[in-house]
Every structure is written in C-alpha cells, then in structure tokens.
Amino acid sequence: MPTPKYHAIASDLSQTILTGQLAAGDKLPPHRVLAKRLGVTTGTVSRAYASLERRGLATARVGDGTYVRHLNAATNQDGSTNANAPIDLAYNVAVPNDESVALLGVFDQLRQDPNRLAELLLYQPETGVKRHRMIGADWLRTFGTSGDWNRVMVTHGAQHALAGVLRTIARPGDTLLTESLTYPGLLSLARSLRLQVIGVAMDDEGLQPDALDRAAQTFQGKLLFCSPTLHNPTTSTMSSARREAIAAVVQRRNLLLMEDVVHAAVLANPPPAISTLLPNHSFLMASMSKVFAPGLRVGFLEASPAWLDKVAASIRADCWMVAPLMPEIATQWLANGEAQRLIGLQRAHIAERQQLAHRILSGLGYRWRPDHPHLWLPLPEIWTSSSFAAALRQVGVLVRTADQFVAGRTPAPRAIRISLNSAGTLDQLTQGLTKVLALLASRDSGTLPH
C-alpha cells in the first residue's frame, strides 16, 4: 500500500526538526500556504501537523499556528520541573562538577591581585595574553607538541578556532575533505563559507589513508579536517601507524590539516597528535568544553607563528581579541592543578556511566572507548537512524542520528549516537538506555513500547 501523503509530509518535517534545521519555537507554515506549495489539500497538511503533535514534535496554538516544540525542555517556562521532559541522551557535554566552586576560588585570587584584574579589563594582543598562551602551550604538550608559546593562541573554544582558521585558509568553492561522518559544527561553518565538503571513507580507526589520497587527487582538495582520537560520533581512534600514514598523504598532496583534539582532552595520556608530524602544515585545536565548563568558551590553537598571525588578523576583524577573563579562569585552573582534578572527576563520571551502559546494552555491538561519553550504536535493518530516533522521541528519549554527522553526499549509516553525560541523573540514564533496549527488542517498528 502506498504511504499516505500526510505521512510522507510529517516524516519530512520530523526529519527537519530532529536534525535541527527547524528550531524549537519556529512557526510551521500556515496550512493553506504549505498545501499550495506541496500541491495537496489543506486537510492533508492538517493531518501531517496532527501527526507531528502526536509525536511530540510540534504544538498547535489556537488561532495562531503550529510551532516546533522544545525537544529537551527539562523545565517549563515558569522554571518548574517538567515531569514529561524527554530524557536527553543527545547533548554532547561534560558532567557538571565542582566548576562553580573552583570559579569562586579564581575570583578570590583576583580580588587579592588588583593589578592582574585591571590587566584583564584592557585590550590585549589578538593572539591572547602571553601568560595564557604559555600555560596553554604547556598543556598542549599532553598531545606531544613542543610547548612553544609562540605557536599557540587563545580562542573562544574550538569552534572559534575552526572559524578563524577556515576564514584564513579557505575561499568559497574550495574543497574541504573530512571523515565521512564528522562534527556538525564543521558542516555548518562550511555551509556558511560556501565550501564543498567531501566525506572520506572511514574504518574502525577513522579516516582511511588510501581513500584520503584518492579524494585529495580527485577533488583537488587542499584542506583536511580530522579527529584522530575519540572521533565524534563514531569514537574511532587511530593507531600511530595510521597517524603516520595520514601525515604522509597530507605531505604528498600538499594539504593543510585541521586536527581536532577536543574530545581527546579528557585522556590522561592522549596519543600524540598528527600535527606533531606536520608542524608547518597543520592547525591543532583543543578546548576545555568537554572536560569542564563549555560556557567558559576557552580553547587553544597551535600552528606555525606565520599562520597564527593570519588567523589573529581574522579574529581582530571579528572581535579584536578573546575576552581575557575566560582564559584567566581556565589557565589558573591548569596552573594550580584544579583543571587536572576536574578532568579526573570527569573521567570518573564517564567510567560510572559506561559501566551502567554496559550492564543494560551489552551484546548490542555498539562502539565505545574508555574515558569517552559517546556510544555509537548500529541499528537493525528495519530502522533508519532517523526513524529510530523519531520512535525513541515518542517514548521520551533524545539521541543524535547518523544523518546529522554526514559529510557531503555520503549515505547515512543505520546508527545513532548516545551521549551518556547529558542525562541529569544515573536514574534517568538507566531509564533512557532501558527504553533504547526495549525499542530495539520490539522487532516490529509499528508497536512501540512506552
């Protein structure tokens, strides 16, 4: 039997909502307008909207229209707890720890040092305060880098570094090579800069050197974005042989490497960055977001001083410089050992949540790595990643679909990403994972357990 028209329209719209192309609070087109646009009756559109409401994706306001619902509203607008809020296994965050207490410690310290406080309120060089760069460079040595502060600048997180670098080295129409599944923040940046994104085949270790070599040749690519350690979303991590092979292709094809070690920052001993093999052809981007507070917006970018000057010019055009108070907080924590303590606590949270996940989901063949809060879960053939996420959403659980990470025209695999850190409590995490298991167990996608 052919799929009813309203059903197809509702599926398209739910996909648009679940992939974030329509945001919470956005108004859907009036029934008559959409009906005209799609060449269907207003009754068909009404049935499609009603179906979205049943799935919890939209809400109709009488006399006003239909709006996209908040997908992870844990609190109501008046601040009260929403008992019906979905369990969030989607958001990619660190588990909050003692950051607010540690923050008060920094403020106490600054209160006793008015000169330093005054300095932080002044304009600073675009590359950042020298003291912050020195501490950042020292921390980046965890990834095998030189520790030379001249090669390091401060950014407002890795996304800011990525934007500064891409605006410096890419022009509209340029080809950007990356893993076939990649960080969505890169995809939105590439869209805004009108770059052509080419997804390169991956295996269990991540980016494949042969495929990279072919893609660089075929598409005349000059830029490569790559996360060799704890790749988002697949968790894959390269061996040292793979890193060397990728570095060799970068050199042979004269590529510029943008290496993301944002998730690797949680590891006590991360593998050496590929960038260490390519000191003049790489940009290494690290951040504090996944190890303690993303709201600090602190990241460090390492590259050759000549490249850093160019990126700094782009940042100057944006906002003059990074606000110095934020790196002051992060670098005080790095210098006095607080950062290492917070990162240790983060690893303990992740280990606890991983154990819980293993108890509930063991045998499902998902990919995971120690010290990493993501699971990459392949799905049986009756599901696509978005139909599974939509069905999970119906039973009150949010996850990320493979489609959200797809680079270029690569087909989306049947898989979802589960973030273990975003559920507020272990009890919520247990409930969420149990619902994932129950949905997988209900072989018939038509009968959904609640």
Ligand X SMILES: Cc1ncc(COP(=O)(O)O)c(C=O)c1O
Q: Alpha helices of 337-413 — where are they, by DSSP H?
A: 338-361, 385-394
Phi, psi of 112 (to 5 degrees): -85, 0
| Region of residue 284 (left: phi > 0; alpha: psi -120 to 50; beta: else) | beta
Question: Which residues, listed in sequence order, are joined to residue 298 by a DSSP beta bridge?
Answer: none
Minimum CB separation of residue 297 from ligand X in Å reads 7
> Interface with ligand X by CB under 6 A: which residues?
92, 157-159, 183, 185, 227, 232, 260, 262-263, 287, 289, 294, 299
- Pick 45 or 312: Cβ nearer ligand X: 312
Residues 440 and 395 sit within 8 Å (Cβ to Cβ): no
- Pick 237 or 287: Cβ nearer ligand X: 287
Neighbouring C-beta atoms of residue 318, cutoff 10 Å: 15
Minimum CB separation of residue 405 from ligand X in Å reads 10
Name the token pair of 366.
């998902």
- Pick 49 or 143: Cβ nearer ligand X: 143
Minimum CB separation of residue 74 from ligand X in Å reads 19
Q: Residue 42: what residue type?
A: T
Minimum CB separation of residue 265 from ligand X in Å reads 9
- Pick 11 or 419: Cβ nearer ligand X: 419
Minimum CB separation of residue 262 from ligand X in Å reads 4
- Pick 57 or 95: Cβ nearer ligand X: 95
Listed residue (129, 119, 124, 126) closest to 149, CA to CA:
129
Minimum CB separation of residue 298 from ligand X in Å reads 8
Listed residue (281, 276, 287) closest to 256, CA to CA:
281
- Pick 44 or 180: Cβ nearer ligand X: 180
- Pick 180 or 289: Cβ nearer ligand X: 289
**What is the CB-side half-sphere exposure of residue 338 using CA atoms within 13 A?**
20
Name the token pair of 428.
């919520």
Q: Residue 264: what residue type?
A: A
Minimum CB separation of residue 412 from ligand X in Å reads 18
Residues 351 and 371 sit within 8 Å (Cβ to Cβ): yes
Minimum CB separation of residue 324 from ligand X in Å reads 17
Minimum CB separation of residue 51 from ligand X in Å reads 31
Residues 207 and 228 sit within 8 Å (Cβ to Cβ): yes
Name the token pair of 404.
């959200």
Q: How many residues does the chain have?
A: 450
Minimum CB separation of residue 299 from ligand X in Å reads 5
Q: Which residue has the tokens 């880098």?
A: 145
Cβ neighbours for 116, distance < 8 A, ≥ 6 positions apart: 110, 328
- Pick 11 or 421: Cβ nearer ligand X: 421
Minimum CB separation of residue 327 from ligand X in Å reads 12
Neighbouring C-beta atoms of residue 10, cutoff 10 Å: 25
Three-state DSSP class for 381?
coil
For the purposes of burial, counting CB atoms within 10 Å of the CB of 279, is it exposed (0-12), middle (13-18) or buried (19 or more)? middle
- Pick 53 or 318: Cβ nearer ligand X: 318
The Cα 164–Cα 318 span in angstroms is 9
Pairing of strands 87-88, 65-68: unpaired
- Pick 272 or 294: Cβ nearer ligand X: 294
- Pick 221 or 299: Cβ nearer ligand X: 299
What is the DSSP annotation of 102-137? HHHHHHHHHHT-HHHHHHHTS---TT--HHHHHHHH
